[in-house]
Amino acid sequence: MKEQFVAYIRALQETITTKIEAIDGTASFKEDLWKRPEGGGGLTKVIENGAVFEKGGVNISEVSGKLPESMQQYFGVKEANFFACGLSLVLHPVNPMVPTVHANWRYFEMYDQQGAIIDQWFGGGQDLTPYYLFEQDAVHFHQTCKTACDMHSPLFYPKYKARCDDYFYNDHRGEGRGIGGLFFDYCRISDDMQLEDWYCFVTQVGNSFLDAYTPIVEKRKQLPFTEKQREWQEIRRGRYVEFNLVHDKGTLFGLKTNGRIESILMSLPPRVQWRYNHQPEANSEEEKLINVLKNPINWV
């Protein structure tokens, strides 16, 4: 399975970066092939200072080795080895009318001292973080997610949509990071889902990403915006940074397994603001967004 999924994420990385370059029209991805001393490595692809995308990365990694003691405690196991692979992406647009997007699809194996697999699972998802809320964009993104889920189970979309709302939540702020999408983890073999079934589901979601996001970018990238709206975007980006550094389990795992720091922190936007006790104006478009972030909506 790990060879099969590695081949998939390598191909998907190329597909996504080719499409994003075409949409941007100016900037191209820089490639950074790296190795991890303890085992494995990855390919980081970063785009910066484009006409559409101010910063973004589409990264794949395949890492292995001894599971650190802190992670042993987290998973409730004794000495073990692991293999983890995945594709992780974040795209931060220039125009505040275009939402930031995040996606991740991953596979994990854990082994005993004899090398036998003692656990294995898939995880991932995709979520949208707008700065100005266009309801039709939110509906489109969620409908695309639902369509991918429904091909495997009618229970998946409501279940993983709710988990996304719960996970990407800044509880110290009392608001969501964005308007959600899908989040699933620890997708293991069960009575009704074999590992190959989970592979088909996760790759279905991965294949839906460009259909979910790029029509929104194309529709909004030429809209006019003011400096005040740009400032709002940078303030909201600050909340994005807060979530990634305070709450995100993927960031934590990377830091605790001696992951490549540049690739881990690739998700952080280049221009951010933290204003003291900043409050949006009453009845403004900015306040409209905050109200939705505090009270998640069922978009489809």
pLDDT tens for residues 179-189? 999 999 999 99
Q: Is the pLDDT at 257 greater than 80, yes or no?
A: no
Instruction: Give the pLDDT confidence score for residue 75 in this predicted structure.
Output: 78
The more confident residue out of 28 and 70 is 28
Greater confidence, 257 or 24?
24
Are 139 and 300 in contact, with CB atoms under 8 Å apart? yes
- 74: domain CATH number is 3.40.1500.10
Q: Is residue 136 part of a domain?
A: yes
Q: Averaged over 276-283, what is the pLDDT?
A: 95
pLDDT at 9 over 80: yes
For the question of residue 102 being annotated catalytic, the response is yes
Residue 163 lies in a domain: yes
Is the residue at 300 inside a domain?
no
Q: What is the pTM for the complete model shown? A: 0.95
8 A C-beta contact, residue 20 and residue 91: yes
When the pLDDT of each residue in the chain is averaged and rounded to a whole number, the result is 95
> Does residue 79 or residue 160 have the better pLDDT?
160
Number of neighbouring beta carbons within 10 Å of residue 291: 12
Number of folded domains in the chain?
Answer: 1
In a domain, 299, yes or no: no
Q: With cut-offs at 50, 70 and 90, classify the pLDDT of residue 67.
A: confident
User: Can you spell out the DSSP letters for the chain?
Assistant: -HHHHHHHHHHHHHHHHHHHHHHHSS--PEEEEEE-TTSEEEEEEEEES-SSEEEEEEEEEEEEEEPPHHHHHHHT-SS-EEEEEEEEEEEEESSTTSPEEEEEEEEEEEE-TTS-EEEEEEEEEEEEE-SS--HHHHHHHHHHHHHHHHTT-TTHHHHHHHHHHHHSEETTTTEESSSEEEEEEEE---SS--HHHHHHHHHHHHHHHHHHHHHHHHHHTT----HHHHHHHHHHHHHHHHHHHHT-HHHHHHHHTT--HHHHGGGS-SS----TT--PPTTSHHHHHHHHHHS-----
Provide the percentage of residues in the chain whose pLDDT is more than 90: 84
Residue range of the domain that includes 31: 2-294
pLDDT of residue 6: 98
CA distance 52 to 65: 39
Across the range 23-33, mean pLDDT stands at 97
Q: Output phi, psi for 103, to 5 deg.
A: -155, 155
Which of 92, 102, 140, 142 is the catalytic position?
102
Taking each helix axis from N to C terminus, what angle separates 135-150 and 156-167, rounded to the nearest 10 degrees? Answer: 130
Whether residue 152 is contained in a domain is answered as yes
Q: Look at residue 73 in the predicted model and tell me its pLDDT.
A: 75
Identify any residues that bridge with 100 across adjacent strands, giving them in sequence order: 129
